[in-house]
Amino acid sequence: MEWNAQWLVVGQVALAMLLGGAVGYERELKDRPAGFRTHMLVAGASALLVGIGRLAITSGGFDGGGERLQIDPLRLIEAVVAGVAFIGAGTIFSRRGDGAIAGITTAASLLMVAVLGVATGLGVYLVAIAATVLTLVVLTVLRVLER
């Protein structure tokens, strides 16, 4: 595999982590269960998984002892969503006394940064940056209006 293509993936992971970190910083300021580092890692892992898949596809797949391993890019995205669903479920808490549920917004923000990572890994930078801004608007401005 070409070194330039691999460095591009590293750059995409860094950008995804930066975008995820922006969302995570907002969650951190509100002292939510998943904050800055968690959001950065989810976004970065998503971009890395998609980037590795893209590298495998463009290099012709992996050769395993004469057999070709085929990669479906949509299955990689499904894996990201499944992994984030597991992490997100851990951030949702239900209080028995009053039945209140906490952590749903943080779980949703984790899903969003995972998708931001996928977008970055696919090289759709404008969409990823614009979606990050929109996410921050939802988490900050709409919270003020909600009150």
| 53-79 pLDDT per residue, tens | 888 888 765 555 666 666 677 888 898
- For 16-27, how does the pLDDT look when each residue is reduced to its tens digit (9 = 90+)? 999 999 999 999
In a domain, 82, yes or no: yes
Domain range for 136 is: 3-61+75-146
Q: Is 68 within a domain?
A: no
Is 70 inside any structural domain? no
Phi, psi (rounded to 5 degrees) for 68: -95, 135
Residue 138 inside a domain? The answer is yes
Domain count of the fold of the chain: 1
- The pTM of this model reads 0.85
